[in-house]
Structure 1
Amino acid sequence: APDTRLPDTEPRGQWGNKLEFMMTVAGAIIGLGNVWRFPYLCYKNGGGAFFIPYVVFLFTCGIPLFLLETALGQFTSQGGITCWRSICPLFEGMGYASQLIVFYGAITYIIILAWSFFYLFSSFSPELPWASCGNYWNTGTSAGPRWAARGAADPERMLEMSNWTVPPNATLPVMEFWNGRVLNISGGIEEPGSVRWELALCLLLSWTICYFCVWKGVRSTGKASYFTATFPYVMLVVLLVRGVTLPGALDGIVFYLYPNPSRLADPQVWMDAGTQIFYSYAICLGYLTSLGSYNKYNNDCYKDSFYLCLLNSGTSFVAGFAIFSVLGFMAREQGVDISQVAQSGPGLAFIAYPRAVAKMPVPQLWAVCFFIMIILLGIDSQFVGVESLMTSVTDMFPTLIRRGYRRELLLLLLCSVCFLLGLLLVTQVRGGLYLLQLFDHYVCSGATLLFLSICQSICIGWVYGADRFYGNIENMIGYRPRALVKYCWLYLIPVICTVSDVRPSYSYPGWAYALGWFLAVSSLSLIPLTMLYKVARAQGTLCQVGTSCCGQRGCSEQDAAHIGTCWDTLGQNGTQWVMLGHAGTQWDTLGHSGTRWAPLRKQRAARGDCDG
Structure 2
Amino acid sequence: MADFLCRLCHLPPKATSQTVKERGKWGSKTEFLLSAAGAIIGLGNVWRFPYLCYKNGGGAFFIPYILFLVACGIPLFMLEVALGQYTSQGGIMCWRMVCPLFEGMGFASQIILFYGCISYVVILAWAFFYLFSSFSAELPWASCNNSWNSDSCMILNNFNSTVNLTSPVNASSSVSEFWQRRVLNISTGIEALGSIQWELCLYLLLAWVICYFCVWKGVRSTGKATYVTATFPFFMLAVLFLRGMTLPGALHGIKYYLYPNPTRLTDPQVWMDAGTQIFYSYAICLGCLTTLGSYNKYNNNCYRDSFYLCLLNSGTSFISGFAIFSVLGYMSQKQGVDISLVAESGPGLVFIVYPQAVTLLPWPQVWSVCFFTMIILLGIDGQFIGLESIMTSLSDVYPSQIRKGFRRELILMLICTFGFVFGLLLVSQAGAYILHIFDHYVCSGPTLLLMAIFQSVVIGWIYGAERFCDNIEDMIGYKPVPMLKYCWLYGTPLICSGTLVFLLLRYNPLRFNNSYVYPWWAYCIGWFLAMSSLMMIPVIMVWKLAKAKGNLWQRFKMSSQPAGEFPVMTKESASLHVPDGGQDSNL
TM-score (norm 2): 0.90
Deviation of the 1:187 alpha carbon: 2.1
Q: Distance in 1 between matches of 2:261 and 2:147?
A: 45
1:69 is matched with 80
Name the structure 1 match of 2:10.
none
- Structure 1 residue corresponding to 2:521, chosen from 486, 511, 526: 511
**Inter-CA distance 73–578: structure 2 relative to 1 (3 Å threshold):** closer
CA contact (8 A) 2:81 2:289 kept: yes
Alignment of 1:459-474 (within 5 A): 459-474=458-473
Contact 1:123–1:368 under 8 Å retained in 2: yes
Aligned pair in 2 of structure 1 residues 512, 460: CA closer, same or farther (>3 Å)? same
Q: Deviations over 1:213-257 (max 9, x none)?
A: 000101100000011111001100111111111111110011100
CA contact 2:564–2:581 (8 Å) conserved in 1: no
Q: Indicate the residue corresponding to 1:531 in structure 2.
A: 541
Pairing 1:225–2:226 present: yes
Amino acid corresponding to residue 396 of structure 2 in structure 1: D
- What does 1:48-447 correspond to in 2, within 5 Å? 48-140=59-151, 170-427=171-428, 429=429, 431-447=430-446
For the 8 Å contact 2:511–2:518, the answer to whether it is kept is no
Q: Which residue of 2 aligns with 1:587?
A: none
- Asked if 2 retains the 8 angstrom alpha-carbon contact of 1:102 and 1:385, the reply is yes
What is residue 36 of structure 2 aligned with on the other side?
A: 25
Post-superposition offset of 1:4: 6.2
- Distance in 1, Cα, partners of 2:169 & 2:261: 27
Query: C-alpha distance in 1, partners of 2:45/2:260?
Result: 20
CA distance in 2, matches of 1:470, 1:287: 21
Q: What amino acid is the match of 2:355? A: P
- Say if 1:279 and 1:108 are closer, same or farther in 2 by CA, change over 3 A: same
Q: Distance in 1 between matches of 2:353 and 2:88?
A: 44
Residue 337 of structure 1, CA deviation = 0.3
Alpha-carbon separation, structure 2, partners of 1:20 and 1:51: 31
CA shift, 1:190, in A, is 1.6
* CA separation of 1:209 and 1:93: change in aligned 2, threshold 3 A: same
What amino acid is the match of 2:149?
N
Could you tell me which amino acid in structure 1 is paired with residue 216 of structure 2?
Answer: W
Pairwise CA distance, 1:491: 1.1
- Report the CA distance shift for 1:261/1:341 in structure 2 as closer, same or farther (over 3 A): same
CA distance in 1, matches of 2:424, 2:46: 26
Deviation of 1:576 after TM superposition, in Å, equals 7.1
Distance across 2 between alignment mates of 1:202 and 1:325: 31
C-alpha change, 1:553 and 1:82, in structure 2 (3 Å) is closer
**What letter matches 1:550 in structure 2?**
S
Look up the equivalent residue of 2:483 and give its one-letter code. L
Describe the superposition over 1:388-429 as per-residue Cα deviations: whole angstroms up to 9, x where unpaired.
0000001000011111111001100100000000000000x3
Deviations 1:46-83 (A, max 9, x none): 00110111011100000000001111101111110011
Change beyond 3 A, Cα 1:579–1:106: closer
1:494 Cα shift? 1.3
Q: Whole-Å Cα distance in 2 between the matches of residues 510 and 579 of structure 1?
A: 50
C-alpha separation in 2, matches of 1:256 and 1:458:
37
1:535-550 mapped onto 2 (5 Å cutoff): 535-542=545-552, 544-550=554-560
Q: CA RMSD in A?
A: 2.2
Offset, 1:543: 5.2
Q: Aligned runs of 1:441-590 on 2, under 5 Å?
A: 441-500=440-499, 501-502=502-503, 504-506=510-512, 507-542=517-552, 544-551=554-561, 555-556=565-566, 558=567
Partners of 1:32 and 1:374 within 8 A in 2: yes
Shift of 1:544: 4.2
Compare 499-508 and 170-179 and name the one that shifted more.
499-508
Give the Cα separation in 2 of the matches to 1:260 and 1:53: 13
What is the distance in 1 between the residues matched to 2:99 and 2:301? 23
**Superposed displacement of residue 487, structure 1:** 1.0
User: Structure 1: how far apart are the matches of 2:310 and 2:250?
Assistant: 28
Shift of 1:540: 3.8
8 Å CA contact 2:545–2:559 kept in 1: the answer is: yes
Equivalent-residue separation in structure 2 for 1:576 and 1:135 (angstroms): 61
Please give the alpha-carbon distance, in whole angstroms, between the structure 2 residues aligned to 1:488 and 1:554: 26
Aligned AA for 1:413? L
Q: Which amino acid aligns with 2:288?
A: Y
- One-letter amino acid matched to 1:254: K
Count of residues in Structure 1 that have an aligned counterpart in Structure 2: 549
| Distance in 1 separating the partners of 2:169 and 2:283 | 37
Instruction: Check the 8 A contact 1:87/1:555 in 2, yes or no.
Output: no
Structure 1 distance, partners of 2:296, 2:576, is: 16
Distance in 2, Cα, partners of 1:424 & 1:579: 45
Distance in 1 between residues matched to 2:209 and 2:562, nearest whole Å: 44
2-structure distance, mates of 1:577, 1:453: 25
Once the 2 structures are TM-superposed, how far is the Cα of residue 546 of structure 1 from its aligned partner? 2.8
Q: Distance in 2 between matches of 1:510 and 1:88?
A: 39
Q: What is the percentage of aligned positions where both structures have the same residue?
A: 64
**Which ranges of structure 2 fall in alignment gaps of 5 or more residues?**
4-13, 155-167
Q: Does 1:10 align with 2:21?
A: yes
Could you say if the C-alpha distance between residues 302 and 576 of structure 1 is closer, same or farther in structure 2, counting changes exceeding 3 Å?
Answer: closer
Q: Is the 8 A contact 2:87 2:579 kept in 1?
A: no
Residue in structure 2 matched with residue 563 of structure 1 by the alignment:
none
**Offset from partner CA, 1:499-558 (integer Å, 9 cap, x none):** 2255645332211111100111111011001000000011245554233210157634x4
SS state of the match for residue 133, structure 1? Answer: coil
Change (3 A) 1:271 1:168: farther
| TM-score after normalising by structure 1 | 0.87
- Asked if structure 2 preserves the Cα contact closer than 8 Å seen for 1:6 and 1:399, the reply is no
Q: Tell me the SS of whatever aligns to 2:284.
A: coil
Tell me how far 1:477 sits from its aligned partner: 0.9
> Does structure 2 conserve the Cα–Cα contact (< 8 Å) formed by 1:547 and 1:553?
no
> Is this contact kept in 1: 2:80–2:287, CA < 8 A?
yes
SS at the partner of 2:22?
coil
Q: C-alpha displacement at 1:577, in angstroms?
A: 9.2
Q: Are 1:96 and 1:526, in contact at CA under 8 Å, matched by a contact in 2?
A: yes
Unaligned runs of 5+ in 1: 146-166, 560-569, 581-599
> Is the Cα–Cα contact under 8 Å of residues 211 and 383 in structure 2 kept in the other structure?
yes
Secondary structure in structure 2 of the residue aligned to 1:130: helix
User: Does the Cα contact within 8 Å between 2:300 and 2:476 map onto a contact in 1?
Assistant: yes
**More deviation in 485-494 or 496-505?**
496-505
- Indicate the residue corresponding to 2:158 in structure 1: none
Corresponding position of 1:149 = none
Say whether the 8 Å CA contact 2:100–2:562 is kept in structure 1.
Answer: no
Deviation, 1:498, is: 1.5
Report how far residue 333 of structure 1 moved: 1.0
Q: Deviation per CA, 1:86-132, whole angstroms, max 9, x where unpaired?
A: 01000000001110111111100110000000000000011000000
SS at 1:528 equivalent: helix
Q: In the TM superposition, what is the alpha-carbon distance from 1:484 to its structure 2 partner? A: 0.9
